[in-house]
Every structure is written in C-alpha cells, then in structure tokens.
Structure 1
C-alpha cells in the first residue's frame, strides 16, 4: 500500500471513530472512556490540535474541540454530559495522571 492510500484509510477510520462517539454513542461519558481506555473525546481533539500545531497551523484548544465535536464544547457538554460520581472523579484523576500528565 502506498503512503497516500494509508493516510486516506487512517483518516477514514478516524472519521468513523469520531462519528461513532459523537452520533452513535453520545451517551458514553468522557470520564468513563478515560477511566477505562486512558483517552476520551477531549484527548482526540487535543491530538488534532497537536497535529495542526506540529504542521504550523495555529489551532487553540477551543478550536480543536469545536472541530472535533462539531459545535462549541460547552454546548455538547450541556446536551450529553452527566455529573460524575466521586468514584468516577477519583478514577479519572488517576487515569489522567497516568495517561496525560505523566506522558507530557
């Protein structure tokens, strides 16, 4: 497989993942994803931001989130996020530290 075809296939898979998380399964909470998998929708938007910035394209955190979520993050959060339990928050603190903070 040539490099361009690989890039196109990977991009298509990413779009399918984004659609799955945003349209097909919006009820799945970011905190649960982070606690179970070590990443969430916000991580995906941050990775988009980092990729853009690496290529010299200025993209802020808010711009990346809006590009990923298809709307301002606060709007998506109000429509789809629920309040986290104390247990979820504690697990999130550990997952975030292991998968984000300690990785940078």
Structure 2
C-alpha cells in the first residue's frame, strides 16, 4: 500500500475496519473470550483502540460511545442478549494463552 496516497490508504483501512465490525456483528455467536484466545483481541479491545485513536487526535470520544459503535448497540444490551458465561475450558485456554504471552515477554 506504499504506492497509495495517505487519504486513499486511510479510506481503505477505514473500509476494512467497517467490514470487520459488520463481520463481528454477523457472528454474535463468537464470544469475546473466543477472540481473546485465538487472536488476543476482542470487541472491547477495538473499542479501547478507537478511544486511544480519538485521544491521540484530541477528539472527545468516550469508551461507552466507542463500545456502542463496535457492538452496534449499548454494551449492556449486547451483553444481556448475546454474551454467554465463559466455560471452564475457555477460561483455561485463555489463562494458558496469557501465561504463554507473559513467558514470551519475559523470555
């Protein structure tokens, strides 16, 4: 993408991000813990990254608003409708991923 001007690159990246949000919205069955286990990020991470990007640019954009944008609805509503309790297996897999990540960082 080095051959693209900054505006075009930004438009393409923004379009890809919007597509990622649509994809996640179409797959509400994929729980945040599943995303964390597999990819080390989740919908909440995307929300935090949006807030951080806004902060870097001096834009007022709070975490609740960011989560509503990412989830497509207020987070408490999404959580009540779609969030499931993590299973013991999911929690164990998440803890193993975190431990391995810490080993890599410390190693």
TM-score, normalised to structure 1, is: 0.83
The counterpart of 1:21, out of the listed 5, 24, 27, is 24
Question: The residue matched to 1:28 in structure 2 has which SS?
Answer: coil
Mapping for residues 74-85 of structure 1, pairs under 5 Å: 74-85=76-87
Residue of structure 1 in register with 2:34 after alignment = 32
Q: Which moved more, 1:8-17 or 1:77-86?
A: 77-86
Q: How many residues align?
A: 99
Measure the CA separation in 1 of the matches of 2:53 and 2:63.
12
Structure 1 95/55 Cα, relative in aligned 2: closer, same or farther at 3 Å? farther
Measure the CA separation in 1 of the matches of 2:64 and 2:28.
19
- Structure 2 unaligned residues grouped into runs of 5+: none
- Structure 1 unaligned residues grouped into runs of 5+: none
Which protein has the larger Cα radius of gyration, Structure 1 or Structure 2?
2
Does the CA-based 8 Å contact 1:34-1:96 persist in structure 2? no
Structure 1 38/86 Cα, relative in aligned 2: closer, same or farther at 3 Å? same
TM-score, normalised to structure 2, is: 0.81
Q: Greater relative contact order (Cα 8 A, min sep 6): structure 1 or 2?
A: 1
Mapping for residues 1-104 of structure 1, pairs under 5 Å: 1-22=4-25, 24-93=26-95, 95=97, 98=101
